[in-house]
A = this chain, B = another copy of it.
Amino acid sequence: MADVVILGSMALDTIETPFGKVERVLGGSASYAAYAASFFAKPAIISVVGVDFPENEKKVLLERGILLDGLKREGKTFHWEGFYEFDMNEAKTIKTELNSLESYKVKVPDHYKDAKYVFLANIDPELQLDAINAIRKPELIVMDTMNFWIEHKREQLLKTIDKADVLVLNDAEARQLFNTPNLVKAANKALRLHTRAVIIKKGEHGALLFTDNKHFSAPSYPLENIKDPTGCGDSFGGALTGYLAKTRDTSEKNIRKAIVYGSVIASFNAEDFSIERLKKIRHDDIEKRFKEFREIREF
């Protein structure tokens, strides 16, 4: 059985950054999240790809022990093409071809339905809600989203957030969703829904955790060479949920540790295109960087 069920997109990405270009490489929120989660627990993907999806990419995931029984296969794979400018801060989209994602309906395999940990990676909030409804008795639902859904499906998104335990989003999205420039105010508004915790990802500035009466600020890793930030947010969420699933401890204290493990994996992810860097790291590398995170915040 899977430890953590992950719903999200799977894509073939074409990406250019000041440090290179790759074409039709493995991408999508579920791919990054599941690969990141696999360092800690056994992930199971719910997603869709096209008949054109390369067998070798599928093999990469299967060999990591990632379950793909919830992976539908029809039409053409979702394709995203984008680039980053010099400051690497924001992905600019050249082309988005939704393809098989466009008419996708969530179908959760029976043997996924007793999963205790769920990560709803970035995807249409209505699909996220369908997944929530299909899982019998989850202990923790973590969800991510993006600006597109805030703009186009705000009401549905708020309904889905209301059913999740932990909301993960970036700082710009938090400001946009809760109509305030102040992240503390945004987090407090999120906590007034039924979420237990809000995690705000701030990229190079680390991440923040807000719960009812506690606040945690995770540092970021001082990366001098960022090759491609695509998928950092997804790896963060996947690793975080994977770590919580592994430890079966959803206390605020353990969520702090999970955030740092999420940051560790995300920092590795930025060091190369697609999941190339993640393919090369081992548990020793993760623990070494985790220790560095402790040292850089010590006073």
Contacts and interface: CB of A to CB of B under 8 A. Distances in A.
Nearest to A224: B184
Contacts of A89: 181
A190 to B, nearest CB: 14
A55 interface: no
A89 B182 CA distance: 10
A217 B219 contact: yes
A256 B299 contact: yes
Contact of A218 (B184, B210, B299): B299
B299 A224 contact: no
A130 B299 CA distance: 34
A182 B224 contact: yes
A227 to B, nearest CB: 12
A99 interface: no
A87 interface: yes
Interface of A: 86-89, 181-185, 188, 202, 204-206, 208, 210, 215-220, 222-224, 226, 253, 256-257, 259-260, 294, 296-299
Q: Which 6 A-B pairs have the closest CB atoms?
A: A217-B219, A87-B181, A205-B205, A256-B299, A184-B224, A184-B222
